Amino acid sequence: MENLLIDSVYYKKFVELSGYSDKSIERYRSVLKELGEFIRVFGYRNDKLDFNKFYYSENDDEYEPIDLDFVDNYVEYLKEKKTKVTLGNHFSCAKSFFQFIEDLELIEENPFSRYPSSFHYRAIKNRALSKEESDSMLKAAAILDPFLLQYFVLILLQFTCGLRSREICSLKLSQIYFDLNVIVIDRKQKTFASSVLMTPALKKYLQVYINHPYFKEWLENSTDKELFFLKKRPLTNAKLNKIIREIASKAEIKRKVASHDLRATMAYLMDQNGFSLPAIQRQMRHKKPSTTLIYLPMKNRLKV
C-alpha cells in the first residue's frame, strides 16, 4: 500500500472528476499524500480509508465519522511543520478536497467546512457559547437529569476543563485526583499525557455524582470505570453529541451545538474572567499559544 488517502476512492474520484489540470492534480497529490500519512499517525488503523467510519468504538461495536477533533489536530500538525505560506497552501488544498468529496456525497459531514482557509492569520468562526447561553445549558442539563446530575457534571466539565470528545468518553474515575484538584488526561489524548485543573464547583459536583447510588451501581464492585455512561454502556462520541444537542434544545439555543463548541466555550469563558493566554493554553493543552489564539477571535485580531 502506497498511501491511505492516495489509494482511496476519494482521491480516485477527485482525479477522475475534478477537471483540474495535470499540474494542479500533482500539487494536490503532494499535499494529500502527506495528509494520508498524517491520518495514519493520527491513529487510523484500517487498511481502507472510510471517512464515514473513521473511529471505532469497542464498547458499542460502532463506527463514527471524521470530526472537528481531527481537523484541530491537523491544524496543530501544520503549525509545527510548515511556514505560514506553505501552511496556508496545505490547508487550503485539504479543505478544497474535502469540499469536493462532500459535493459528491462521499462523506456525510465535512469537518473542514467550519475553518476558513486563512486560519493561520485569522481566527476560525467563533464557536463559543455566550455566558448567557452557557448558564442556560447548565440549567437545562440539571432539569433534564435532576437525580443523577450526570448531564450537569458533563457540561460543567467541558465548560471548565475543555476535554476533547474522546477524552470525555474514555475518562475514568482513576484519572481524577481530588486531593490535587486535577484530572489526568492519559487516555485517547492527542499526544502526551497531561492534566487539567478542576474548579471548586466541578470538584464539588463530581464528588456528589460519584457517590450517587446510580453511579455506584454502574461501578458494580469495580474500582474503576468510565465516568460517563448511558444504558449501562460508556458514552460514545455520537451519544455525547446527541446529549449535548438535547440539552441545547432544552436551553432554547437555536444553532447547532457540538462537543467541540463547548471546548471553545471554555477558552472564551476563561478569557472573559481575566485568565492570561498562558493559563488558557495550559488548560487547553496546546503546544503553542498561536493554536490557543484560534479560539479567541478578539485576541487574535488584536495580535495579543
The per-residue pLDDT for range 217-271, each reduced to its tens digit, is 999 888 889 999 998 889 988 889 899 999 999 999 998 898 889 999 999 999 9
Q: Helices (H), strands (E): how many in the chain?
A: 14, 7
Span 7-26, mean pLDDT? 92
Q: Are 35 and 74 in contact (CB under 8 A)?
A: yes
Q: Are 277 and 293 in contact (CB under 8 A)?
A: yes
Q: Which of 157-171, 188-202, 280-294 has the highest mean pLDDT?
A: 157-171
Higher pLDDT, 86 or 121: 86
Superfamily designation of domain 131-302: Intergrase catalytic core (1.10.443.10)
- Quote the pLDDT of residue 120: 45
- Quote the pLDDT of residue 186: 84
Flag the least confident range among 111-115, 145-149, 182-186. Answer: 111-115
Instruction: Please provide the average confidence, as pLDDT, over all residues in the chain.
Output: 87
Is 71's pLDDT higher than 70?
A: yes
Q: How far apart are CA 258 and CA 264, in angstroms?
A: 10
- The amino acid that residue 271 corresponds to is D
Region label for 258, one of left (φ > 0), alpha (ψ between -120 and 50) or beta (otherwise): beta
Is 27's pLDDT higher than 50?
A: yes
Name which of 121, 125, 110 is nearest 268 in CA terms. Answer: 125
301 confidence band (pLDDT: 50, 70, 90): very low
Is 122's pLDDT higher than 60?
A: no
36 confidence band (pLDDT: 50, 70, 90): very high
- Quote the pLDDT of residue 294: 78
Span 71-94, mean pLDDT? 81
- Quote the pLDDT of residue 291: 78
pLDDT digits (tens, 9 = 90+) for 181-191: 999 998 655 55
> Where do the domains of the chain lie?
9-114, 131-302
Cα–chain center distance at 110? 14
- Quote the pLDDT of residue 199: 96
183-to-32, 113, 202, 283, 289 alpha-carbon distances in Å: 36, 32, 11, 11, 22
Quote the percentage of the chain above a pLDDT of 90.
Answer: 54
- Quote the pLDDT of residue 270: 95
Q: How far apart are CA 296 and CA 125, in angstroms?
A: 10
pLDDT digits (tens, 9 = 90+) for 150-184: 999 999 999 999 998 889 998 999 999 999 999 99
Name which of 77, 71, 43 is nearest 263 in CA terms. Answer: 71
Q: How far apart are CA 151 and CA 68, in angstroms?
A: 22
- Quote the pLDDT of residue 303: 44
Is 132's pLDDT higher than 80?
A: yes
**Which residues, 6+ apart, have CB-to-CB distance to 238 below 8 Å?**
62, 64
